Amino acid sequence: MMNKREIGQSGMIVSEIGLGCMSLPLEKVQAKRIVDSAIDQGITFFDTADLYDKGENEKILGHSLKGKRQDIILSTKVGNKWNEDGTAWTWDSSKSYIETQVKESLTRLQTDYIDLYQLHGGTMEDNLEEAIDAFNSLKKEGLIRAYGISSIRPNVIKRFLNSSDADSIMMQYSMLDRRPEEWLDMISGNGASLLTRGSLAKGLLTKQAMKRADQSNGYMEYSKESLITTLKELESESQDLTGLAIAFVLQHKQVASILAGASSAEQIEDTVNAYNESIPAERLDTINTLLKEDLYKDHRI
């Protein structure tokens, strides 16, 4: 059974595992099979972005959710604008762009409203207050229910939270990337929740751990050698690295949901099976001693 948590103070309750849809295939039948499997497994939270596959990802997700929209929480992102030739994108967080693009996303997703609309990045040079004004206007119109930001920049996150009623912050967070931990209390103290991505660390925290590590040049602050050593130590603590990785992230009450990607129905089933494994709190305490405690070096408050 999938447990649920609230995103910020939005009143929106989501499954502790969500489906990060960036890896959905563009073939409709395959994509729908993954989405149907996720729903069958108890997943109620689906996240995409207008950037993914130049909007095609939103179209595929909208098609896959036909007839099930009322049963799920739907999230997408805005701010990255493709150039006319489609070879690159630029950043645009202006109110006019956000208010134009939300309508495009609504059309592609085949829905009348977006549950969670997120700014897909941001810098201290942005007029974040203008973007926040756009989100608040969209809430009043009923086009979105809540908003947040996807960012790994603590200074941008703090400024965004201080100026808004944001309900969510999306950050990369896993056993191998613990940088967000320093900011968890700041996020929850502002009434928001953390949504995590990359919590399986590019497959390094799955059954393919050693194979992925051997083919890598290391990960984050881990050299290849220290990565392999750490993964071996983690595997000695648990036969299911995925279950351990999920439990490690969800031990923090500030986390609302882990967004797990899947390019097949089997992958999402494996993730949910791992989620259902019981990991004792004492084991998580032991795991902490095996991991690096890293901090963001740039964009600090």
Residues 6+ apart with CB under 8 A from 94: 127, 130, 131, 134
Whole-number Cα distances in Å, 6 to 38, 76, 124, 258, 275: 19, 17, 29, 13, 18
Residues 6+ apart with CB under 8 A from 292: 176, 178, 221, 222
Q: Residue 75: CA atoms inside 13 Å, Cβ hemisphere, count?
A: 30
Looking at residue 66, the DSSP 8-state letter turns out to be T
Query: What's the rounded Cα separation, in Å, for the pair 57 and 50?
Result: 8
Instruction: Specify the 3-state DSSP secondary structure of 255.
Output: strand
Q: Give bridge partners of residue 17 from the DSSP assignment.
A: 258
Query: What's the rounded Cα separation, in Å, for the pair 17 and 154?
Result: 24
CA dihedral angle for residue 261, residue 268, residue 250, residue 256, rounded to 10 degrees: 60
Active site residues: 52
Residue 50 has φ and ψ, to the nearest 5°, of: -65, -20
Q: Give bridge partners of residue 295 from the DSSP assignment.
A: none
